[in-house]
């Protein structure tokens, strides 16, 4: 079975490698072609344009950083919309706005194509281990076709509805909880340290209560100040926080914690920390306290 994949960043590259390991014929496109070369030695084919990747496979996955990056590969004469044939499927794994997910659904439907939103939970190490979790929404017929592909890349596939944007709502909700955890954990680590409690010891105490791999992973990053290289860049964290707030505004809902995190991430970017891991919000709390 042929599959196209567009975007070979921290997440896309290990996903591409796992597709090849699972026997898929893979056609890849990346704006920087040099990132494709190692994959060709493992059997991947390089497409010259997004349209070509879509045309050769008729099922194309995109994993890109934001709305603008996705729009650049979908629209236009060399875009995915142009390349997919009737019945073709575009699977967006990116964290994008609810607005864009709704627009892509309509645009693909108008072209007799299918749009699936399959947002992903997990960092690059989970992608490499094929241990990702996917939140999937879109037409049932198309979902059934792509489910085996997603199962080869992860350990869970959650179906949340027929409309693609529902996946993006659920992903933003998940990321809101992560942002809330990063904010609250940063705040309290700064406080206990000022009182004389060793942060690593405090982390051991809270992990005995919460037994959370999320607290454990990010807590270690914070206490050891291991923010580089980033698994998920702080500037992308701000992008996601902005998307959360936009989604909340659309349904007249308040997210006060997101507003607070937005101010802290904005401060971090002003300090030049945008390429650090988003757990580096800890640096902001240390500086402003």
Q: Which active-site residues does the annotation give? A: 171
What are 128's two structure tokens? 């490499």
Pseudo-torsion of CA 18, 23, 28, 34, nearest 10°? Answer: 60
Which residues make Cβ contacts (< 8 Å) with residue 220, sequence separation at least 6?
A: 203, 226
């Amino acid at each position: 079975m042929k599959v196209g994949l567009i975007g070979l960043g921290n997440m896309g590259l290990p996903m591409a490698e796992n597709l090849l390991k699972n026997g898929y014929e893979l056609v890849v496109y990346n704006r920087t072609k040099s990132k494709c070369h190692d994959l060709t030695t493992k059997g991947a084919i390089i497409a010259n344009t997004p349209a070509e990747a879509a045309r050769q496979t008729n099922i194309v996955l995109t994993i890109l950083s934001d709305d603008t990056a996705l729009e650049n590969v979908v629209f236009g004469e060399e875009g995915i919309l142009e390349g997919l044939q009737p019945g073709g499927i575009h699977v967006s794994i990116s964290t994008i706005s609810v607005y864009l997910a709704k627009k892509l659904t309509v645009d693909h439907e108008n072209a007799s194509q299918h749009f699936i939103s399959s947002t992903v939970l997990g960092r690059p190490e989970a992608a490499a281990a094929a241990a990702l979790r996917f939140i999937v929404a879109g037409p049932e017929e198309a979902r059934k076709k792509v489910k085996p592909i997603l199962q080869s890349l992860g350990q869970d596939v959650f179906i949340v509805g027929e409309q693609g944007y529902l996946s993006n709502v659920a992903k933003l909700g998940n990321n809101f909880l992560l942002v809330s955890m990063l904010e609250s954990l940063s705040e309290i680590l700064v406080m206990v340290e000022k009182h004389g409690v060793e942060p690593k010891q405090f982390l051991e105490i809270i992990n005995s209560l919460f037994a959370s791999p999320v607290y454990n992973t990010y807590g270690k990053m914070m206490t050891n100040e291991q923010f580089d290289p980033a698994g998920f860049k702080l500037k992308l964290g701000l992008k996601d926080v902005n998307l959360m707030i936009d989604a909340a505004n659309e349904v007249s809902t308040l997210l006060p914690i997101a507003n607070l995190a937005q101010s802290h991430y904005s401060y971090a970017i002003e300090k030049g920390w945008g390429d650090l891991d988003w757990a580096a919000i800890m640096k902001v709390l240390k500086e402003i306290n």
